[in-house]
Amino acid sequence: MRRLATLLLSLCLTVPAIAADAAKPDRKEVFGDVTVHYSAFTSSFLQPDVAAAAGLVRSKNQGVLNVSVLKADKPSMAVVSGTVKDLVRGEKPLSFKQITDQGAIYYVAQFTVDQEETLTFKVNVESGGTTNSFSFDQIVPPGE
């Protein structure tokens, strides 16, 4: 599981450089003492054993939205929800699941990637009784 946590953290920090929009290249939102890091990528980036350990479908047509929440710079539990919108299927809800490993906490949701296009993500993070929302656009191409 430690390998899973390391991979998800590295994807959260590095994959955005590949497909980030110019408005938010650092892929984080700050709400007072709560910092939310996020990234979206095609699940084929994951190694098969890592995807299996996280309960994720590894496919060139499945994307992953990875969200981590820090409160006062420490991993924090939260309730994460959201949607993904594309031009063909419209807006679809995302179903997040929590992955905890070695003190790290991640929230991951999968979505369909049929073709390279700009997807709009809307994310809600409830932490400490307060809900914060943000949205971002990202191009997520199908995997190899």
Beta bridge pairs of residue 103: none
Average pLDDT, the chain: 86
pLDDT of residue 65: 97
Rounded Cα distance, 102 and 112, in Å: 29
pLDDT of residue 89: 80
C-alpha 61: how far from its chain's center? 16
What's 2-139's CATH class? mainly beta
Give the pLDDT mean for 95-104. Answer: 93
pLDDT of residue 142: 82
- CB atoms inside a 10 Å sphere around CB 73: 8
Note the pTM of the prediction, 2 decimals: 0.82
Segment 3-50, tens digit of pLDDT: 554 445 445 444 444 444 555 668 999 999 999 999 999 999 999 998
Given a cut of 50, whether residue 86 has pLDDT beyond it is yes
Q: Please, which residues have CB within 8 angstroms of residue 110's CB and are 6 or more apart in sequence?
A: 43, 56, 57, 62, 63, 64, 65, 95
